[in-house]
């Protein structure tokens, strides 16, 4: 995945940021299981896989627009991130909300199905944790690249 992103973004730093966003989202999964005292089992591992795709998708959405605005505008650094973020926050939030809403029935109606309950709780916890981290983490990387 990193190599495909490196070729697509024509950068080595941005794919690294995309890949590093995945373990940060995993913190949300672990916190959710710990805070709600839920057993971590196969559903938790499946939540990791599902969450990896969702977080990578959110990061790529924003980095794609950042690269577009770097090529087409005279702005730099944080200004470009803010413009790209303002344009892509609605699709990011809508796709995240769709995933959360799709998993809510497993939490509400099917607590006996251990796999699906753990999958839903882990994925929702990871998504809820990853959105604020995405908002704070990506501008930091954009700013660090500007300094170099």
b/e per residue 32-41 (b: at least 16 CB within 10 A):
bbeeeebebe
CATH code, domain with 67: 1.20.1640.10
How far is CA 88 from each of CA 12, 28, 66, rounded to the nearest angstrom?
22, 22, 10
Higher pLDDT, 32 or 15: 32
Residue 7 domain-assigned? no
- pLDDT digit string (tens) for 91-124? 999 999 999 999 999 999 877 888 999 999 999 9
Residue 140 domain-assigned? yes
**What pTM was computed for the model?**
0.85
Residue 81 domain-assigned? yes
Residue 6 domain-assigned? no
- pLDDT digit string (tens) for 53-86? 999 988 888 888 888 888 888 877 778 888 888 8
Residue 123 domain-assigned? yes
Count of domains in the chain? 1
Task: Say how far apart CA 147 and CA 61 lie, in whole Å.
Answer: 23
Report residue 29: phi and psi, to 5°. Answer: -65, -50
The residue segments making up the domain with residue 24 are 12-147
Q: Residue 91 CA to chain centroid, in angstroms?
A: 13
Q: Residue 102 CA to chain centroid, in angstroms?
A: 17
How far is CA 130 from each of CA 26, 52, 77, rounded to the nearest angstrom?
8, 11, 22
Residue 24 domain-assigned? yes
């Amino acid at each position: 995945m990193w190599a495909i992103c490196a070729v697509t973004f024509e950068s080595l730093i941005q794919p690294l940021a995309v890949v590093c966003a995945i373990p940060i989202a995993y913190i949300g999964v672990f916190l959710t299981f710990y805070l709600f005292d839920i057993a971590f089992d196969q559903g938790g591992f499946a939540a990791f896989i599902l969450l990896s795709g969702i977080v990578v998708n959110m990061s790529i959405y924003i980095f794609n627009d950042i690269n577009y605005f770097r090529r087409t505008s005279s702005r730099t650094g944080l200004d470009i991130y803010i413009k790209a973020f303002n344009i892509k926050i609605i699709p990011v939030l809508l796709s995240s909300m769709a995933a959360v809403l799709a998993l809510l029935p497993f939490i509400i109606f099917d607590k006996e199905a251990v796999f699906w309950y753990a999958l839903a709780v882990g994925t929702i916890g990871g998504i809820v944790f990853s959105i604020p981290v995405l908002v704070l983490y990506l501008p930091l990387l954009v700013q660090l690249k500007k300094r170099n």
